[in-house]
Amino acid sequence: MATNETKVSREFWPKLKNSLGKVPFAEDVVAAFYCAFDPATPLRVKGILLAALAYFIMPVDVIPDFILGLGFTDDMAVLYAAFTAIRNHLRPEHRDKARAALEKLKSDTP
């Protein structure tokens, strides 16, 4: 889990910024990020989310992200499975932070 945590904390925002506009589930991904790094989130939930987020940022996965229309479907399936497993731990404040972060990211993008 420590490896995933380090990788996600280092590579999440650059990956999201590069794929903004291509990822229709961006708010869910960012909410998962905030939930995973919330000190109140149980360790098991953090592990599930960090694994799913690590898969999201991997440059090579089952369906490469650059394939138009299909590239993020495997990422979405992995994240959906993670959300199903942890749905009771994703709180409104995680979603609020996600919306605010995405607005800021969009305003910083030329």
Spatial separation of the C-alpha atoms in residues 110 and 32, rounded to whole Å:
26
- What are the 10-residue block averages of pLDDT along the chain, 110 residues in total? 83 82 82 95 94 80 53 75 88 96 81
- Give the pLDDT confidence score for residue 44 in this predicted structure: 95
Least Cα distance to 28 among 57, 7, 49 occurs for 49
Output the pTM of the full model: 0.78
- Give the pLDDT confidence score for residue 70 in this predicted structure: 54
With beta carbons less than 8 A apart as the criterion, state whether 32 and 79 touch.
yes
**DSSP notation for 40-60:** TS-HHHHHHHHHHHHHHH-SS
- Give the pLDDT confidence score for residue 90 in this predicted structure: 92
- Report domain extents, the chain: 2-108
Amino acid (1-letter code) at residue 19: S
Amino acid (1-letter code) at residue 16: L
Task: Take residue 107 and report the two structure tokens written for it.
Answer: 């305003």
- Give the pLDDT confidence score for residue 30 in this predicted structure: 93
